[in-house]
Amino acid sequence: MSEDKPKPIRRKTTGLGRGLDALLGEAINERPAVSDIQVGEAQSSLQRRKPTHSIIMIAIGDISPHPDQPRRHFDDEQLNELAQSIAQHGIIQPIVLRPFEGRYQLVAGERRWRAAQRARLHEVPAIVKPFTNKETIEIALIENIQREDLNPIEEAEAYLRLSEDFGYNHSELAKLVDKSRSHVTNMLRLVDLESSVRDLVIGGKISMGHARALLKSDNMGDLAQQIVKKGLSVRQTEALARREKPQRKNLKQLKSVPQEASADIKAIENHLGDLLGLKVNIEQGKNAASGTVTFEYKSLDQLDMLCQRLTGEPF
């Protein structure tokens, strides 16, 4: 009786747009066990290596970062923690590279590559494929969004790059990363922030909700400093931004209570939409203490992501 061959381990689907599976192919799904990677047989000369879809060992010194990598900020403490883990356990997931100008260029996995250098590794496991510039940006964006590694400004700049250089419209970008079109549109608006305000968003000192409110202000830099200094909420920031606009006479005739309630509801809708990447609609009932919340999804993957977030399951 012949022995059954072990089945290749399949990676759980991520449920994000086209996903890395579609871009990387079967190599990312059928990863050989660590014992199957012949580290000792790794070739030392770059010229002797041929691009392949299998996992091979590549010298760290032969790898260069991509200049248009969406993620620009790497937390030093987190890198040290990852380096310690890599030093002890090795790199579990291979990085992704493409041949470039006689060397290799990073497509996905820069954080692991940086940590591997701190762990003083000489080689790293990698998948090598001849990706185009467009595919390279797509994969880097998808991987970082899957891992929730991008701050809002980095995500916005990545969308802008795909839009300007490769002709993506908002609907196509939304489909690529499996987010709502309104989410992509709102993110792209962040590129209009002043540089000082963008730095505050990158540093986590103000939220995306604050930043979106500041876009309505003619003096966003000073207002941003007030947010940081006074610890203003998004609701308070929106109120200050509105006060800067000229008031029309007929606005005095409107009742203040419905306006305040409507603004609060809109702020909550925007906040939930930013967190989930979906369009959210809240309708109040006959009294302010009741109502309905509606989440709009355009694919089963989006529904699955929503269920996982609501139940707290890992994804």
| DSSP string computed for 194-227 | -HHHHHHHHTTSS-HHHHHHHTT-S-HHHHHHHH
**How far out from the chain centre does Cα 299 lie?**
19
Tell me, yes or no, if 110 is annotated catalytic: yes
Rounded to whole angstroms, the Cα distance separating 132 from 116 reads 26
DSSP 293: E
Q: Within the chain, how many helices (H) and strands (E) appear? A: 13, 7
Instruction: Tell me the pairing of strands 123-128 and 103-108.
Output: unpaired
Cβ pair 123, 57 in contact under 8 A: yes
Strand partners, 103: 100
Residues 6+ apart with CB under 8 A from 277: 177, 178, 179, 180, 183, 302, 305
Count of C-beta atoms within a 10 Å radius of residue 45: 8
If you compute the radius of gyration of the chain from its CA atoms, what whole number of angstroms results? 24
Q: Which of 30, 101, 110, 164 is catalytic?
A: 110
Catalytic residues, by residue number, are 110
